[in-house]
Amino acid sequence: MLASIRRTVAVLRERQILHKLGIVISITIIATACYILFHMLRDLKVADLMEAIRETDRKAIVLAGLCVAAGYFTLTFYDLFALRSIGKADVPYRIAALAGFTSYSIGHNVGASVFTGGAVRYRIYSAWGLTAVDVAKVCFIAGLTFWLGNAAVLGLGVTYHPEAASAVDKLPPWLNRGIAILVLIILVGYVVHVWRRPRQVGRGTWTVRLPDGPLTLLQIAIGIIDLGFCALAMFILIPEEPHVGFVVVAVIFVSATLLGFASHSPGGLGVFDAAMLVGLWQFDKEDLLAGMLLFRVLYYLTPFVLSVTLLTLREVIVGARNKRLREALAKLDESTAQPPTILRDQGDGGI
């Protein structure tokens, strides 16, 4: 059975069917989101939106910003955990933090984060001796942490409050709860699977050893904390009335984020917003959009500008350091090596 599945996947990859199917799914998600946004926002009053932004409590914005900062801080441990998992313990936390922060913030904004984030990571980690295969393994383990966290948050959240998911996917609450329980069962099964004995995926140099049971629980905890801080930032920025519980907002937020991720649009633009508007239908559109725009500034725009600045400064510093090193080596060569003609003249004079 497993062999036949692998052969089928190999055929699909060879004919690029999976790639084409992914493009079709992305276009469908984006088109559906644009259609929803058009119908929901066609009577939007820009003046009311700007007024809602101006009336947002400054303390709430600052508190939401601190939650975003805490989320990005937690996110840096994705890379640190992945580096330790593949045996690259010599890479210090500051490098892992730089690579994790810049790769995710740039990937979130540019889109196709698997490729953009991988390119940023390779640029940073290659200076510490990591190969392209090593970076691919880091991306895999970090991605696994992300998905385990998402599975845990959605599984627990939807099991507790299935109506929140129903507001987005329009499925019956009992079906959403059943899917959530199934996700949790699979998650527990995976933890038991890696807890029993060491597990590996891949072949040859691409083999990755999966974290064991206790480390997998740590992965899940990292993912939950990261998503929890981000959802809390969104919860702080939405209007206080009508009152909606944190779990509801968290489920809708994570669902909207995953839809945006699946669309590969930069920052989930359009898709994330449509899912949030549909899921939190009970709020005034102008007030809700004001909170979402502020969240984009805090979670997407500000980290993106900071990441580009950090990478630019790094390139300038590394370039200047390499230039000084080349100049020092050139001076060393000049001082230790004498031209052959001078040696011959000295020899002739001696004779």
Question: Which contacts (CB < 8 Å, 24+ apart) does range 173-181 have?
Answer: 180/154, 180/155, 180/156, 181/155
pLDDT band at 78 (very low <50, low <70, confident <90, very high): very high
Global pTM reads 0.78
pLDDT of residue 255 exceeding 50: yes
Cα–Cα distance list, 157 to 112, 113, 144, 252, 338 (Å): 27, 26, 20, 10, 75
What pLDDT, in 10s, does the model give residues 90-106? 899 999 999 999 888 88
Most confident of 31-45, 153-167, 190-204, 313-327: 153-167
More confident residue, 9 or 228: 228
More confident residue, 23 or 224: 224
Question: What is the C-alpha to C-alpha distance for residues 101 and 73, in angstroms, rounded to an integer?
Answer: 8
pLDDT of residue 18 exceeding 50: no
pLDDT band at 20 (very low <50, low <70, confident <90, very high): low
What pLDDT, in 10s, does the model give residues 195-204? 988 888 877 7
Token pair 């920025």 is found at 237
- What single-letter amino acid sits at 319? G
pLDDT of residue 209 exceeding 60: yes
Q: How many Cβ atoms are within 10 Å of 253's Cβ, its own excluded?
A: 28
pLDDT band at 111 (very low <50, low <70, confident <90, very high): low
Question: What is the C-alpha to C-alpha distance for residues 180 and 165, in angstroms, rounded to an integer?
Answer: 10
What pLDDT, in 10s, does the model give residues 286-308? 788 888 888 888 888 888 889 88
Is 295 within 8 Å of 237 (Cβ atoms)?
yes
pLDDT at 339: 54
More confident residue, 18 or 267: 267
Question: What is the C-alpha to C-alpha distance for residues 213 and 294, in angstroms, rounded to an integer?
Answer: 39
Query: Mean per-residue pLDDT for 187-212?
Result: 86
More confident residue, 13 or 51: 51
pLDDT band at 10 (very low <50, low <70, confident <90, very high): low
**How much of the chain exceeds pLDDT 70, in percent?**
76
pLDDT at 30: 54
pLDDT at 126: 87
Least confident of 32-41, 44-53, 109-118, 267-276: 32-41
What's the CA angle centered on 159, arms 182 and 217, to 5 degrees? 65
Mean pLDDT of the chain: 80
